[in-house]
Chain A
Amino acid sequence: ILNVEQSPQSLHVQEGDSTNFTCSFPSSNFYALHWYRWETAKSPEALFVMTLNGDEKKKGRISATLNTKEGYSYLYIKGSQPEDSATYLCAFPFSGGYNKLIFGAGTRLAVHP
């Protein structure tokens, strides 16, 4: 059974702090890795789809890196703002043809003013 692990489970930071979280996934048969942001009472929002080893993607103050050989991805937030408070989920396609996503449990980030 595929296992996608995320750490830490939760994180509290002050406004302006930079932070990062980890997503670990099986390194064999890698296809892609998805990052989503899920704010309370809203729809999960796609952040990145990462496919190549060494990939680095950026969206505003949020960036992500990928290491497919060792099976991990980091998500970084530079200068956290209260609006960054959300649960950050990573997901791994189980069977590429049907795009069945296996999700980690998420990292819940709270940014305090």
Chain B
Amino acid sequence: EAGVAQSPRYKIIEKRQSVAFWCNPISGHATLYWYQQILGQGPKLLIQFQNNGVVDDSQLPKDRFSAERLKGVDSTLKIQPAKLEDSAVYLCASRIQGAGGTDTQYFGPGTRLTVL
């Protein structure tokens, strides 16, 4: 079974530029997550989709971050414009719809973003 795919793996941009990340979850997984992991901190949930609907985006900085999951499969996360503090690893994860807190989330390898 193929895992969660993400691209690009690395991205370097200047502040005020825009950037987009792509995620392809495991086939059949209804739930998709985007996390931001800043150096020295644990991953923080940015947004959670159930199929193509948003379940939780309470920690997404909506003035600059946006995300979509068209057709309930692939997802893109965009930052426009980027700030220095957006430098982080952006992780995508997916989970088969199930009971909830005991279900494993499967992660992609992440995109390491550096904002100069």
Q: Which residues of A line the B interface, CB within 8 A?
A: 4, 6, 31-32, 34, 36, 41-46, 49, 51, 89, 91, 93, 96-106
Contact = CB atoms under 8 A, between A and B. Distances in A.
A93 B35 CA distance: 14
A51 B31 CA distance: 21
16 contacts: A31-B100, A32-B101, A43-B106, A44-B91, A46-B105, A89-B42, A89-B43, A96-B100, A97-B101, A98-B48, A98-B100, A99-B100, A99-B103, A101-B105, A103-B44, A105-B41
Contacts of A106: 42
B3 A96 contact: no
A36 B45 CA distance: 16
B101 A96 contact: yes
Contact of A51 (B3, B102, B105): B102
B34 interface: no
B13 interface: no
B72 interface: no
Interface of B: 3-4, 31, 35, 40-45, 48, 50, 55-56, 91, 95, 100-110
B3 A43 contact: yes
A45 B31 CA distance: 18
Chain A interface mostly = loop
A91 B91 CA distance: 15
Contacts of A32: 101-102
B85 to A, nearest CB: 17
Given A93-B101, A99-B95, A99-B101, A42 B109 contact: yes
